[in-house]
Structure 1
Amino acid sequence: MSHTHTSRFVLLEHQWIGVHWDFMLERDGVLKTWALDAPPAPGPEREARHLPDHRTAYLEYEGPVSQNRGWVRRIDEGVYTSIEWGEDLVHVRLEGRQLVGELRLTNRPRESNVPAGGNWKISLGNVD
C-alpha cells in the first residue's frame, strides 16, 4: 500500500551500551524506528534492527533517555516522502540537512535464527 504524503524523520545518535543510531520515520502518530550500527550512507546495504514504535517527542528531543537507557543526540532531521510502504519494504525519499536521497529498509524472509527485530537491511541511494 502506498500513499504519498510528507512527514518528518530524525536520525539520533544513541549512547547506551556502546553507540548505535536510531533512524525514525513519523507515521500514523508514532515514530517507526530502526536501530543501526552505523549512520546511513551511500554504498552497500547495512544491518538494521526494527524496534518498537517511539513517541514523536523524539523528533525534537536530545538528552537523557528514561530508565537509564543512555542519551540521544540529533544527527540529522528533515522530511520524507513515502514512495512505497509495506510490511517488508519501506522506500522513502529523504530531504534532510545531511541525508538527501532514496532510502530503503527491507526485511528479508524470516528464518529460525533471525533475532528479535527481524532481518532488516538499510540502503541509501540516488543521493543528491
Structure 2
Amino acid sequence: MAEHDLKEYRDKRRNSTTSEPSGETSTSAEGVGAVTPVFVIHRHDATNLHFDFRLEIDGVLVSWAVPKGPSLDPSTKRLAHRTEDHPYDYADFEGRIEEGYGAGTVIVWDTGTFENATEIDGDEVSASQGLDNGHLVVVLHGQKLAGAFALTQTKMNGDEANWLLVKVDDSGADRRRRPTSTQNESVLSGRRNQDIAADEH
C-alpha cells in the first residue's frame, strides 16, 4: 500500500505567505477506512487555469491536476497529472494564494462523497490498491458531477505522474453538457474565482 506523506505538501508552502491549511492536521476525522470518503474538485486559477481532482484515500486527499477539467463525455480523455497529497482539511479550502507555489485563486467547484468501484482481474480491491496498480474507478456523488470516473496511469512521456481521467458511460454521462465551462461558481460559497480575487486582493 502506498505511503502517504504530507512532507512534500508542507515543503512547497510557506505558512507565512499562504492562507492554505498548514497540513499539521493530516488525516480525516474518521481516519483511514472512512465509510463515506469525500472527493473535492478545486477550480484553481493560477498561472494556468486548471481543476484539482482530489480523492480521500487513507485519510489524505490524493490529488491530480486536470488542465481542462473533468468531462462528462465518455469519449473524451483528460490528462490528469498526479501532484502531492493534500491534507484532509484542504477539502473546504477557498481563498487567494499569494506569491509562490500555486499562486492564484481557489474555489471548491464540486464536492461530495464517492464509492470505490475499482477491480483488478474481476475482483474488487481498495482504492489504495487501485492507486498502487495505476487504475482507479470511483462513483462520484457530487452537486455537478455524478456517476463513475476512471483514472488510469499512462506514464505518458516517461512521466509516472501522468494519468488519464475518463467518464464511464453510465447514467451520469452527458455528451452535451459542459459544466467546467458553464458552471464556474463554488458549490460552497457561490463565489467565482474572480470574486475571491476582488475580495482578498
> TM-score band (shorter)?
0.7 to 0.9
Identity rate, percent? 31
Whether 2:65 is the aligned partner of 1:38: answer no
For structure 1, the 5+ residue unaligned runs are none
Indicate which of 109, 114, 118 corresponds to 2:161. 118
User: 1:105 — aligned with what?
Assistant: 151
Task: Give, in whole Å, the separation in 2 of the partners of 1:21 and 1:81.
Answer: 21
User: 2:92 — aligned with what?
Assistant: 60
Indicate how the Cα distance of structure 1 residues 127 and 47 shifts in structure 2: closer, same or farther if over 3 A, else same.
farther
Q: Which moved more, 1:46-55 or 1:58-67?
A: 58-67
Give the drift of 1:19. 0.7
Indicate how the Cα distance of structure 1 residues 62 and 4 shifts in structure 2: closer, same or farther if over 3 A, else same.
closer
Q: TM-score, normalising length from structure 1?
A: 0.85
Indicate which of 36, 50, 58 corresponds to 1:6. 36
Structure with the largest fraction of helix: 2
For structure 2, the 5+ residue unaligned runs are 2-32, 119-126, 173-201
| Count of equivalent residues | 124
Q: TM-score, normalising length from structure 2?
A: 0.56
Greater gyration radius: 2
Indicate which of 107, 111, 128 corresponds to 1:73. 107
Give the drift of 1:41. 1.5
Give the drift of 1:123. 0.7
Q: Which has the higher contact order (CA 8 A, sep 6+)?
A: 1
Q: Is the 8 A contact 1:5 1:81 kept in 2?
A: no
Structure with the largest fraction of strand: 1
Give the drift of 1:127. 3.7
Give the drift of 1:89. 0.6
